[in-house]
Structure formats: structure tokens, C-alpha cells
Amino acid sequence: MPSSWRKPSVLPGFSLTLGYTVLYLSLIVLIPLAGLFWKSADYTWAQFWTTVTAPRVLASYQLSFGAAFIGACINAVFGFLVAWVLVRYTFTGKRFIDALVDLPFALPTAVAGIALTAIYAPNGWFGQYLEPLGIKVAFAPLGVVVALTFIGLPFVVRTLQPVLQDLESEVEEAAASLGANRWQTFRHVIFPAVLPALITGFTLAFARAIGEYGSVIFIAGNMPMVSEIAPLLIVTKLEQYDYAGATSIALVMLLVSFALLLAVNALQAWTQHRHGRDAT
């Protein structure tokens, strides 16, 4: 087709838009990450390894990644239920509940941390009933899980809602007409259709929780080797002007997070491929 017949594009040509894209990503992503690698290079390999494998640092890694994973798993289950209710049912107060899901997005993280601490402290609304049962939430690792679950819920719900809206209820009726019970309908019809979106929401919630700081420091208690998260340890080293140590810990978190995200994306691609193959 002659170039004069082509429909004019709203945006500039490919070369110009690609140049702006690369420039923007370089300023926002590539240059800061390169600075992280560059500053970590102030350490020798022995110093780097000693810093990132110190017992206190390893404990903070375990808490940050473990709590983020648990919180994302909880949100994957209950976020699916919330999205299902918001899409499939009509009830009084539905708009309020729908807006409430976005509260962790709009609420400052420090405010969320203070509110959770006030609720789950030993003398708080919920904490005063949990304390006699031997369940300590505030100032304990469990409090970190609660905070990370709170901030990760919207990612799962908002990722699943469009998929559930596109999944017509007639599909469930067709499965029922073929003799499938509710569990078979969920397992063979609904779950495969929403699994890629569910994995995406899980990944977003997990990635968001790994680097969370504001909502955690108030409820965690920040006790070394017990309830100290890796972002807090990074801030502590920055306050001590140990920039190489802080960037070394951050670099390990970056590499581990990147590896986990690659694994999750590979799993998502595999599930999409399998679902598409089964559909054909």
C-alpha cells in the first residue's frame, strides 16, 4: 500500500516514540538500577558476601520474602472471593465495598501502619481478644503478614474483576446442563479461565509487599532477628552512612525479586498456553 494511502497515526512515528520510550525507561528504571550496581561495587567480593550473608540480614530476607509470599497467597484466595462477589452479585452497599477495596491505594502507608497497630496492639480492638489466646499480632512477625496482606489486596481484586466480568454466567449454566456439579464447574471451567489473571494479581501483590516499608515499621516492632524487614535494615545502614552496605542488601533483594518474577511469568505463560491448547 502506498505511503500516501496510510491512515495517519495519532502519535508520532515509530522511531520517535521508541526513542522517547527508551529515554524514559532509562531515566526511571535503568539509570537508578545501574547506580545500585555501581555503588555496590565499592565493596570487594569478600566484603559484599560478608554483608549480605550476615545473620541479621538473612533473618530480614527471610521475613520480608516469607511474609510477602504468605500475604500474597492469602490475597489470592480472599481476593478472588471479593472479586467474585463484586462481579456476580448485586446488594446494598456494593459501591461502598467496591470503593473500600481501593483504600490501601489511597491511604498513606504510615497511616495504615498506625491504624493496624492500634487495632492489633495488646490493648487494641482486636488485640485485646487475641492476647489471652496467646496470639500476638502487633510487634511480631504476624503483624508484618497482616500489613502486607492489607496493602496487597487491591492488586488481586482489580486484576480479577475484568476477567470475571468477561466470563459469562452462561458458561456455568452450560456446564451444569452437561451434568457438572459446582466443584467440577469451578475446577474445569472457572478456575482455568481466571488462573492467568490470578497469577498476575498474586505477582503484583507479592512484588508490592517485598518493598513495603511505611505500613510495616509501626506494627512490626523492628526487633533484629525477629521482626526486622529488609527495607528497614537498608534505611538503618543509610542512616549510618554505609551506602555500599545498603545498596548491597538492596541488590540482593532486586536479584531475588527479579528471579521470582521471571519464574512466575514463566508459570503464567505456561498456564495460558495450556489453557489455549485445551480450549482448542
The verdict on 201 and 145 lying in the same domain is: yes
For residues 150 and 11, what is the distance between their CA atoms, to the nearest angstrom? 39
Within this chain, do residues 124 and 212 fall inside the same structural domain, yes or no?
yes
Residue 131 to residues 7, 147, 150: CA-CA distances in angstroms? 68, 18, 21
Question: Which residue type, as a one-letter code, is found at position 96?
Answer: F
Burial class (CB in 10 A: 0-12, 13-18, 19+), 112: buried
- Predicted confidence at residue 106, as pLDDT, reads 85
- C-alpha distances out from residue 18 to 3, 11, 34, 184, 247, Å: 20, 11, 21, 47, 31
The mean pLDDT of the chain is 87
Query: Are 231 and 200 within one domain?
Result: yes
**CATH number, domain containing residue 55:** 1.10.3720.10
Do 261 and 158 reside in the same domain of the chain? yes
Measured between alpha carbons, how far is residue 16 from residues 9, 10, 19, 23 in Å? 13, 13, 5, 11
- Asked whether residue 49 falls in the same domain as residue 2, the answer is no
pLDDT tens-digit readout, 174-206: 777 777 788 888 888 888 888 888 988 998 899
Nearest to 153 by CA among 189, 91, 188, 204: 204
168 & 228 share domain: yes
| One-letter amino acid of 45 | W
The 10 Å Cβ neighbour count of residue 119 is 15
Summarize the chain as % helix, strand, coil (round to 5).
Answer: 80, 0, 20
Its pTM stands at 0.85
Copy the grid coordinates of residue 78. 480472599
Q: Are residues 230 and 190 in the same domain?
A: yes
Do 180 and 151 fall within a single domain? Answer: yes
CB 204 within 8 A of CB 75: no
**Domain range enclosing 9:** 1-40
Residues 117 and 181 in one domain: yes
- Verify that 217 and 255 share a domain, yes or no: yes
Q: What is the pLDDT of residues 98-130, one digit of tens each?
A: 999 999 888 888 899 999 999 999 888 998 999
Query: What does the block give as the cell for 271?
Result: 498456564
For residue 97, which of 147, 156, 151, 157 has the smallest C-alpha distance?
157
Cell of 201: 494479581
Rounded to an integer, what is the distance from CA 182 to the centroid of its chain? 30
pLDDT for 193: 86
Domains in the chain, number: 2
Residue 169 pLDDT > 90, yes or no? no
Asked if 185 contacts 104 with a C-beta cutoff of 8 angstroms, the reply is: no
Domain check: are 22 and 131 in the same one?
no
- Burial 28-52, CB ≥16 within 10 A → b, else e: eeeeeeeebeebbeebeeeebeebb
Q: Coil, strand or helix: which one is 108?
A: coil
My answer on whether 111 and 240 are in the same domain is yes
The least confident of 12-16, 30-34, 214-218 is: 12-16
pLDDT tens column, 19-76: 888 888 888 888 888 888 888 888 889 999 999 999 999 999 999 999 999 999 999 9
Dist CA 217 CA 39 (whole Å): 26
